[in-house]
């Protein structure tokens, strides 16, 4: 499923190509690209849920709680997001790439991925997808894009 999300992000969203809204056409294209139907439906559902996360009435726990809050991860979250990944999320909060809401959106989307192996690079792509889809996060997206695509000699955090 994550491969499909990456394919869509790189070929439609990140490349600024016109996004196809016809699910049937998109499903056919992804099938021709070699993806399986069930994985395609999971990926499209994942994207629909990402879009739905912007509805604060549906997700009231995204209400702003203040700058001094600390995120406590569940056991399941810690199994998928290792210590460096959680540290990277905290780093992004400290440099104002993520705020409370976008952090929770990222964690929500990570937990909905159908995978047992999740890398730091995967996390960076999920963050880019979330920031790209949230109105008003253009500056944060640009900062994150710089972190992903610029080569650094040392650790980012």
Mean pLDDT of the chain: 82
State the Cα torsion 85-90-96-101 to the nearest 10°. Answer: 90
Do 6 and 125 meet the contact criterion of CB atoms below 8 Å apart?
yes
Q: Read off φ and ψ for residue 114, nearest 5 degrees.
A: -90, 70
Domain boundaries of the chain, sorted by first residue: 1-52, 73-157
Do 129 and 5 meet the contact criterion of CB atoms below 8 Å apart?
yes
Specify the pLDDT at position 133: 86
- State pLDDT tens for residues 31-73: 998 999 899 888 888 888 887 877 655 555 555 555 566 789 9
Q: 20 falls in which pLDDT band (50, 70, 90)?
A: very low
Query: What pTM, to 2 d.p., does this model score?
Result: 0.78
Q: 153 falls in which pLDDT band (50, 70, 90)?
A: low
- State pLDDT tens for residues 111-140: 999 888 889 999 999 999 999 888 888 999
d(CA 121, CA 127) in angstroms, rounded, equals 10
In this model, does residue 14 exceed pLDDT 50?
yes
* Burial (CB count <10 Å: 0-12, 13-18, 19+), residue 29: middle
């Amino acid at each position: 499923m994550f491969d499909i999300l990456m394919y869509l992000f790189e070929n439609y969203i990140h490349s600024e190509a016109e996004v196809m809204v016809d699910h049937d056409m998109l499903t056919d294209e992804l099938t021709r690209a070699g993806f399986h139907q069930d994985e395609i439906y999971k990926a499209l559902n994942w994207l629909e849920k990402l879009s739905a996360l912007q509805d604060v009435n549906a997700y009231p726990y995204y209400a702003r709680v203040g700058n001094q809050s600390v995120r406590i991860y569940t056991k399941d979250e810690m199994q998928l997001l290792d210590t460096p990944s959680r540290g990277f999320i905290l780093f992004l909060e400290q440099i104002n790439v993520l705020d409370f809401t976008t952090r929770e959106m990222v964690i929500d989307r990570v937990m909905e991925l159908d995978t047992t192996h999740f890398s730091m690079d995967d996390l960076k792509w999920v963050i880019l997808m979330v920031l790209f889809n949230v109105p008003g996060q253009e500056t944060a997206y640009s900062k994150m894009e710089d972190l992903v695509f610029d080569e650094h000699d040392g650790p980012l955090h």
